[in-house]
Amino acid sequence: MRRAGLGEGGPPTGHHSYANSGYSSLEEENARLTESLRTKVTAIKSLSIEIGHEVKHQNKMLTEMDSEFDSTTGFLSKTMGRLKVLSRGSQAKLLAYMALFSCFVFFVIYWIIKLRTQSRSASRGNVMMSFSGCDSCLLWPNRGATDDSLDPGGSRPLPGLRF
């Protein structure tokens, strides 16, 4: 390769020290630029390889998603077909099923509420059962008493009793 002022590409011979120093500085710059270019090419090569792997991974995911969407589309098509058949059928049968389901749900809710209130009243009932058997005595314990000195008005409720 020929460079300006350097002869036929090799180091100059003879007594041209100026040309020799120019050749070596250009060769050093050329080596430095070549190494820089090699580093950049290596970085671009590794980046392009990583991009290729990422593209393959993304294509695989897209293929899987496509198959999932196809199966979901089939499932939804079958469901829509069943709904069409159901809507074309007898409405009385559908209403009977809905009424039975509603009754079942309300029965379950009633049963749960009843169990909760029984468990609460059972825990409170231990305190209430310790009084006499009369209902008015539960709220006003001295109403049935013969001694009026205990509660002259007879209308004082039990302290701490919650309604």
CB 158 within 8 A of CB 141: yes
CB 142 within 8 A of CB 158: no
Residues 28 and 78 in one domain: yes
pLDDT at 131: 47
Residue at 48: amino acid letter: S
Residue at 137: amino acid letter: C
Residues 57 and 115 in one domain: no
The mean pLDDT of 1-12, rounded to a whole number, is 51
* Phi, psi angle pair for 39, to nearest 5°: -65, -45
In a domain, 162, yes or no: no
Task: For 141-155, write each residue's pLDDT tens digit.
Answer: 555 445 444 445 555
In a domain, 46, yes or no: yes
- Nearest alpha carbon to residue 3 among 25, 21, 18, 23: 23
Range of the domain at 111: 90-125
Residues 33 and 80 in one domain: yes
Query: Does residue 1 register a pLDDT over 60?
Result: no
In a domain, 98, yes or no: yes
Task: For 13-47, write each residue's pLDDT tens digit.
Answer: 555 555 566 788 889 999 999 999 999 999 999 99
Query: Does residue 4 register a pLDDT over 80?
Result: no
Q: Quote the distance between the C-alpha of residue 79 and its chain's center.
A: 26
In a domain, 139, yes or no: no
Query: Does residue 109 register a pLDDT over 80?
Result: yes
In a domain, 24, yes or no: yes
Residues 38 and 104 in one domain: no
Count the domains in the chain: 2
Output the average pLDDT for the chain: 76
Residues 41 and 100 in one domain: no
Confidence of residue 59 (pLDDT cuts 50, 70, 90): very high
Please state, for a pLDDT cut of 90, what percent of the chain lies above it.
Answer: 41
Query: Does residue 126 register a pLDDT over 70?
Result: no
CB 18 within 8 A of CB 9: no
In whole angstroms, what is the distance from residue 101 CA to residue 85 CA?
21
- Nearest alpha carbon to residue 49 among 57, 61, 34: 57
Residues 29 and 61 in one domain: yes
Q: Given the structure tokens 């589309």, which residue do they identify?
A: 73
